[in-house]
Amino acid sequence: MRWQNGLFFFPDRVLSMWAWAEADEALHEDLSKLCFEGPEDDLKLTRNTQPAILTVSIAALRVLQQETGLVPAMTAGHSLGEYSALVASGALQFTDAVAIVRKRGTFMQEAVPVGVGGMAAVLGMETEVLEQICKESAEGQAVSPANYNCPGQIVISGHMEAVKRAAARAEAAGAKKVVMLPVSAPFHSALMKPAAEKLARALEPVSVQDLKIPVLSNVEADFYPSKNEVKRLLTEQVDHPVRWIEEMEKMVREGVDKCVEIGPGKVLNGLMRKISRETAMQSIENHDSIKEFVASL
């Protein structure tokens, strides 16, 4: 599969379409048609993007497992990707997960009016310095680190005015670069509390099974202790920062020497190279990359 002009394409659709059929049934609409045919503007809506990316990731995972039979030693996912990790572990059924992430996307979009919140990527600044800048820039509003992506790359999130104040202070304090992000909401900030509360209620009837594969959580940067903590950690994830650096460092300490990024894009591949140069990385985003991966085994 590949991402082209905002749409999803699969060189070998036969091996992956069953995931799309399940997603369509779970959502009671034709998500597959939207992903393969558009319109692109509708696909970019958070409520559609989140289930679409989850479906792409699980479709790729199924093809990979069908062709290799491999079982990961552990899994992790960045924000939305944590749902894919939990499906891979057996904790969540795919159909439950895709229905929940549709609601998650809707709740997050509705939590803050468009334009009220914002996010910015801050490059080349020490974590402690940026955290202090956020505290000083709040001035009665909300702004805080949202994604600890890799050394020297932290995304901040909150009220637009507070984010801009923090961005200006970060630049004045020596940040290498600050980039305002074109996002529809201030994800992983305190402003997402209403979305977290709605998600908690939506998760109540969802069945959670024992984790067959260890999964790292964004909130605690540690393994889920049991299935009993899945709903709590997924709820807290919405308005808490993604501690990706700590998660990947935990993986490395646990002996992981090769990571495979599954799904559209290679963002996590690039982040891992900045966290641990000794860890081999490979991306699975189309059938050719699966063939390359199999050949490398």
Rg, C-alpha atoms of the chain: 19
Q: Is 28 a catalytic residue?
A: no
Q: Is 84 a catalytic residue?
A: no
Look up tokens 């479906």; give the residue.
55
Of the candidates 120, 115, 117, 116, the one whose C-alpha atom is nearest the C-alpha of residue 167 is: 120
Of the candidates 294, 266, 286, the one whose C-alpha atom is nearest the C-alpha of residue 15 is: 286
10 Å CB burial of residue 1 (0-12, 13-18, 19+) is buried
Q: What angle do CA 22, 26, 31 make, to 5 degrees?
A: 75
Look up tokens 């059929």; give the residue.
21
**Torsion angle (degrees, nearest 10) of CA 109, 110, 112, 117:** 10
Catalytic residue among 188, 189, 276, 283: 188
Residue 77, SS3 per DSSP: coil
Instruction: List b or e across 136-153, with b for residues whose CB sees 16 or more CB atoms inside 10 angstroms.
Output: ebbeebbbbbbbbbbeeb
10 Å CB burial of residue 67 (0-12, 13-18, 19+) is middle
Hey, which residues are catalytic here?
79, 188
